[in-house]
Amino acid sequence: MGQFRRLRDAVLAIALLVIPFFVLSANLRDPSEATGFDQPILQLSAPIQGAATATARWVEGLLADYVYLVEVEEENEALRARVARLERDRRRLEAEGLENRRLRSLLGLRERLGAEVVTAEVIARDTSPFFRVTRIEIDRGSRDRVRAGMPVVSSAGLVGEVRRTFGHYADVQLIVDRASAVDVVVQRTGAFGMLRGTGESDRYMARIENLAREDEVRVGDLVHTSGFGQRFPASILVGRVTRIVRQESGLWQELEVTPAVDFSELDTVLVLTEGARRRVIEDGASEEED
């Protein structure tokens, strides 16, 4: 058995070496010089060559598709990275644009109210269970010439007034707080009243009290500070009338006012110092004398 296996292996080795030699020789020989022995070899090898060629082409196509898909995936990854970078740039530019508009608006408000104002950043917020802001804290206090009672405004309108100060910080009482009271005027008709916060935990709302029943007021009318009481300068936007309540009897009517300021979006505010308030009051007194 051992000799037979060795003989078999030797025959197979010789066949594997000789057959390719004859096949290659038959394929390379000029057809005019082909021998009778070449014809059967070519006939037997043709199907094998065809299958090998087809297999080689299939493998080549598979490799080409793989390389193509790899290149496409790399291009897609590059495009996705570029789109993400452009989206980040777009968001950054939008944020910068909003910041620039807000700063320009604050600058315009500062020029209109007078030079003696203090710019402050909102550093903390107290919120209700309904995620409504009930109080804000700013990074300016008694060491920055800020005192209790000073008005606080934003580019959107009146925010409230300083409640207390400590060092470089201060608490601000919002106009929707129950303890807040602001003398206001309805812009369209000139009707005067007192705006008081409702202190509701689920919405920002204030009411105008002591408004004469005969005063014409509509939903949508703008409400501004009146300047009475010398606590707030005149003509600062407070909000918009959203509801009117008239009792069947009585001398007064009540208005619900939605503040112009979204307190949850506050970032930067202006604190009107005594000098700014005094300038507005003196300008108003000069106009009355004229």
* Cα→Cα distances 196→220, 229, 236, Å: 18, 15, 16
DSSP 261: S
What is the location of CATH 2.40.10.350 in the chain?
Answer: 115-289
Q: What is the pTM of this model?
A: 0.62
Q: What is the pLDDT of residue 39?
A: 57
The pairing of beta strand 181-186 with beta strand 222-225: antiparallel
The rounded distance, in Å, linking the Cα atoms of 252 and 159 is 26
Tens-of-pLDDT digits for all 290 residues of the chain? 666 676 666 666 665 555 565 555 555 455 555 555 555 655 555 566 667 677 777 777 777 777 778 888 888 888 888 888 888 888 888 877 776 776 677 766 666 666 588 889 999 999 999 999 999 999 999 988 899 999 999 988 999 999 999 989 999 999 999 999 999 999 999 999 999 999 999 999 999 987 888 888 999 999 999 988 778 888 899 999 999 987 766 678 889 999 999 999 898 899 988 654 444 444 444 444 44
Distance of CA 166 to the CA centre of its chain: 33
**Residue carrying the six token digits 């129950």:** 178
The rounded distance, in Å, linking the Cα atoms of 39 and 41 is 5
* Cα→Cα distances 246→214, 221, 252, Å: 10, 16, 7
User: What is the CATH class of 115-289?
Assistant: mainly beta
The rounded distance, in Å, linking the Cα atoms of 241 and 113 is 24
Q: What is the pLDDT of residue 240?
A: 96
Q: What is the pLDDT of residue 183?
A: 93
Residue by residue, DSSP assigns 95-126 as HHHHHHHHHHHHHHHHHHH-S-EEEEEEEEEE
Contact, 284 vs 227, CB < 8 A? yes
Q: What is the pLDDT of residue 71?
A: 81
